[in-house]
Amino acid sequence: MNANTTTQRIVVLGAGYTGMLAAIRLAHRTRTMDVKITLVNPSERFTERLRMHQIAAGQELADYRIPAILDGSGIVFHRAAAVAIDTEARTVTLDDATELAYDNLIYALGSATDTTRVPGADQHAWTLNDPRQARRFSRRLTEIATAAGTVAVVGGGLTGIEAATEIAEEHPDLTVTLISAEQPGHMMGDKARAHLERALDRLRIVRKVGVKVTKVLPDAVRLDTGEIVASDLTLWTTGVKVAPLAAQAGIGVDERGLIVTDPTLRSVTHPEIRAIGDAAAIHMAWGQVHGTCQTGMASAAYAADALAKQLRGKTVKPFRIGYFHQPVSLGRRDAVIQFTNADDTPNRWYLKGKAACAYKAMVSGSPVPTFKLSKHMTMQAQLSTGGRATRATA
């Protein structure tokens, strides 16, 4: 802590799911302490990343404003983007020329879809990285739907599946092609995957499986088989990248740019920095955690609790988490939920149809209410450990 002040200065970079929860939960945990928490984000609108495919299909979502969510928490919101971190001086420089000093930093800048690896993707493909771009995509989608045009969704992961089904349901006159190197839903069990395939058939979604896109053209994509697939609009949902800010600051990162963390989510090179969510390389006994909202929210809750305990001089237990579900919407009227073992492999249980829709709606809609409640009480994060749900502790 700076010798000239007794106030503990904490800066949280990023106000996505993880940054929001970490900041709000930490404010509640430290409400009796001399702490100043500053949350930094380039936009004051909270982006529901779990629902970006709905925006792309032309649906309107609630307009959640970060200052309104934070109201009453005591957190200072600074609308700007971080452009540099000086780990020696412990300062963050923002794009509005502000310099924020910190004693502890929570790095929650997340990830984005990477369009740099395939020629033409950065010029001709759309992503769900930004709600404004998703809205522009939806307007263009409406235009080509009137001409019964074509859409290619590249990537057969959960995001690609949700986007393809949402678009096909909303615009049944379009020809939607889902392009994937692996079978869509390959991570699921046989029964859940069979339901997924039936939904794709029902929505008349064309599948190109076991192939890769080698080039994105203005009106088509080229596959590694040489086939040209017509596409008036190409949506890119495969591959991720993280902000280069940590690497540029000399913070220890892995080959993908994720901050390497110790068992308490502190940077191994700069322990005053905690990394959470997609920005962190987090290892469990069963392997490395991959970026999902369920693990991101859990890491955020843990980081807030761990830092609060650290400031009180208490012992902090290592972070532990296991996966427990793979929820996938299949348009507005169908969904499939694969329940999993801790290492994200499927177990025997799954939901489909209306029950799965209700479950998925609950999952997608839970973060904002969680933020609001966390201003007043400590919400217990439930983490799966080999099939049993246990309370998260720091």
Q: Is residue 183 part of a domain?
A: yes
Pick from 236, 266, 288: which residue ends a domain?
A: 236
Residue 48 lies in domain:
8-110+243-391
**pTM of the predicted model as reported, rounded to 2 decimal places:** 0.92
CATH classification at residue 176: 3.50.50.60
The reported pLDDT for the residue numbered 381 is 57
Residue 78 is assigned to a structural domain of this protein: yes
- Strand 280-281 relative to strand 259-260, pairing: parallel
Q: What does the alpha-carbon distance between residue 80 and residue 21 come to, in Å, rounded to a whole number?
A: 19
**For residue 293, which of 363, 223, 369 has the smallest C-alpha distance?**
363
- Residue where a domain terminates, one of 220, 236, 252: 236
At 392 the pLDDT is 45
Do 43 and 125 reside in the same domain of the chain?
A: no
| H or E stretch at 363 | helix 353-365
Beta-bridged to residue 235, according to DSSP, are 126, 153
Q: What is the pLDDT of residue 288?
A: 85
Q: Give dist(CA 339, CA 125) in Å, integer.
A: 32
DSSP 83-145: EEEETTTTEEEETTS-EEE-SEEEE---EEE--SSSTTHHHHEE-SS-HHHHHHHHHHHHHHH
Closest alpha carbon to 18 in 54, 46, 56: 46
For position 5, what pLDDT does the model report? Answer: 57
Q: Which two tokens mark 390?
A: 């246990």
SS (HEC) of 241-310:
EECCHHHHCCCCECCCCCEEECCCCEECCCCCEEECHHHEECEECCEECCCCHHHHHHHHHHHHHHHHHH
Q: By three-state DSSP, how is residue 221 classified?
A: strand
Angle (CA) 197 198 199, round 5°: 90
Burial class (CB in 10 A: 0-12, 13-18, 19+), 347: middle
pLDDT at 347: 96
Residue 291 is predicted with a pLDDT of: 75
Element (DSSP H or E) covering residue 196:
helix 190-202
Q: Say if residue 174 is in the same domain as residue 201.
A: yes
CA angle 376, 382, 383 (to 5 degrees): 140
In terms of domains, do 198 and 336 share one?
Answer: no
Q: Are residues 231 and 256 in the same domain?
A: no
- 50 strand-pairing partners: none
In the structure encoding, which two tokens stand for residue 14, read together?
């990023």
Task: Decide: 222 and 213 in contact? Cβ < 8 Å.
Answer: yes
How large is the angle between the packed helices 17-29 and 293-311, nearest 10 degrees?
30
Q: What is the dihedral of CA 172, 173, 177, 183, to 10 degrees?
A: 20
CA nearest to 181, candidates 158, 154, 205: 154
- 253 and 358 inside one domain: yes
51 and 192 within one domain: no
115 domain residue, yes or no: no
Q: Are 249 and 228 contained in the same domain?
A: no
Q: What is the pLDDT along the chain (394 residues), one digit of tens a residue?
A: 444 458 999 999 999 999 999 999 999 999 999 999 999 999 999 999 999 999 999 999 999 999 999 999 999 999 999 999 999 999 999 999 999 999 999 999 999 999 999 999 999 999 999 999 999 999 999 999 999 999 999 999 999 999 999 999 999 999 999 999 999 999 999 999 999 999 999 999 999 999 999 999 999 999 999 999 999 999 999 999 999 999 999 999 999 999 999 999 999 999 999 999 999 999 988 888 887 888 899 999 999 999 999 999 999 999 999 899 999 999 999 999 999 999 999 999 999 999 999 999 999 999 999 999 999 988 765 443 333 333 444 5
- 197 three-class SS: helix
Q: Could you give the number of structural domains in the chain?
A: 2
- 229 and 137 within one domain: yes
Q: Of 194, 218, 236, which residue constitutes the final position of a domain?
A: 236
CA distance 326 to 340: 7
pLDDT of residue 101: 98
CB 240 within 8 A of CB 113: yes
pLDDT at residue 46, rounded to an integer: 96
Shared domain check, 376 and 249: yes
| Residues 269, 174 share a domain | no
Q: Does some domain include residue 179?
A: yes
